Amino acid sequence: MMVMKKKRVIKLKDPKLRNIRKNLRELLLKVFSEKLSEILEKQKEIRRNPDLTYDQKVEGQRELESIIQDLTLDMRKAPLSCSTCSRIDIDLVYNPVFETWYCEECYEFNSRGHSDWYP
């Protein structure tokens, strides 16, 4: 039997805490971006390396693609920004059906008229 997670809302009222949360989100997104750039640079190095065989290049690219995919999934599942409008300075709502976070505005807009949207 599959257990469905419930909709969750993360709200902060204190302006200082909201600012700290925003700054932390900015920092985490910057770290993600830098890590992604690092991996993409490694991919270029692999493609340009004349000492590697075709199979070695393919295997290296495959490993890096797997890392990118895992990193991207982790970022999408974390409450860092709205998956629709990308705002980071607002409260977020978790949609368990799509396993992602939305701001309250986007959540309400997307949930109107969609029977597959939960809850």
Give the pLDDT mean for 38-45: 96
Mean pLDDT, range 92-109, rounded to an integer: 89
CB-based contacts of 32, cutoff 8 Å, min separation 6: 71, 75
Q: Is the pTM of this model over 0.85?
A: no
Residues 6+ apart with CB under 8 A from 114: none
Residues 17-42, mean pLDDT to the nearest whole number = 96
